[in-house]
Amino acid sequence: MRRTNSRTPAEFLEFGNRQVSVPKTETRAERVTQPPESSRAVLAIVLFGSPGSGKGTQAKLLSASLSIPQISTGDMLRAHVRQGNAVGTAVESKLKAGILVKDDVVNSLVAERLGQPDTARGFILDGYPRTVAQAETLCGLLKSRGTQELVIHLVVDYNVIIARLTGRRQCPVCGTLYNLNSRAPKVPGVCDLEGAPLMVREDDRESVIRERLDAYQRQTCPILDYFRQKGEQIHDVDASHDQPEAVFRKIVGLIRER
């Protein structure tokens, strides 16, 4: 992903071979991220959705538009695997099998990440929490920071998810995601930005995808009930057929309504 046309009223982000327009006029979204300290709490956007729902893409778009960091537990865990450290060694086999990593490991990574200075004005959580225990930990972290959450649930049809993920390819250098069915690279098998050969992630194999979806239904969906029981409004956003920029505009609308 890279920014172009920075002097125009809209900022454009490149995803694969397409440009996605991100509103960068005086945006009310900016007022969300830069409010008077006395009038509005720091915002945590919590993105929910099954694997293949587009959480990662939406998190990147929101991060660029609002100038707050995207925090992806999946990305953090994969980075530890690449580094070959103790955390990476402990979680590598679980990631390959599509099994959820233990709550205490993930909670520790998130708590450490939220302690970094760039989260002071807000942040986007992509793929966390994934269990009720993680949700309880998150609520404690947010309360201690005085941070207000906005919970977004991306809703996608099961068969659409299978088609999306089995056709997904990723650049190992820049992390750009492509899809053979909907967002293919200009040159088959090669990243448009880096020229590197694209790869199939271990967790994008069909058998793993089905296990991941089963795990989502068993363990992650009850989190929505947990938030509802706490009185938190869940904002369902249909993401089955719209292009990423259309889904993004729906989410920005919800932010502006706060």
249 a catalytic residue = no
Which three-class secondary structure state does DSSP give residue 41? coil
| Candidate list 60, 78, 130, 169, residue with the active-site label | 130
Bridge partners of residue 4, in order along the sequence: 12
Q: Which of 55, 60, 113, 169 is catalytic?
A: 55
Measured CA to CA in angstroms, residue 133 lies from 148, 184, 226, 257 at distances of 19, 38, 10, 30
207 Cα distance to chain centroid: 22
User: Which of the following is catalytic: 60, 78, 183, 212?
Assistant: 212
Structure tokens at 180: 């053979």
Q: DSSP for 177-199? A: EEETTTB--SBTTB-TTT-PBPB
From 18, 201, 205, 210, the catalytic residue: 201
Task: Give me the catalytic one of 24, 60, 168, 183.
Answer: 168
Instruction: Write the CA distances from 42 to 24, 32, 58, 146, 200, integer angstroms.
Output: 20, 8, 20, 7, 37
- Assess whether 94 carries a catalytic annotation: no
Determine how β-strand 177-179 pairs with β-strand 168-170.
antiparallel
Annotated catalytic, 168?
A: yes
Q: In what order do the strands lie in the sheet with 42-48?
A: 70-72, 122-126, 42-48, 147-155, 234-238
Residue 69, SS3?
A: coil
Question: Which residues form the catalytic set?
Answer: 55, 130, 168, 201, 212
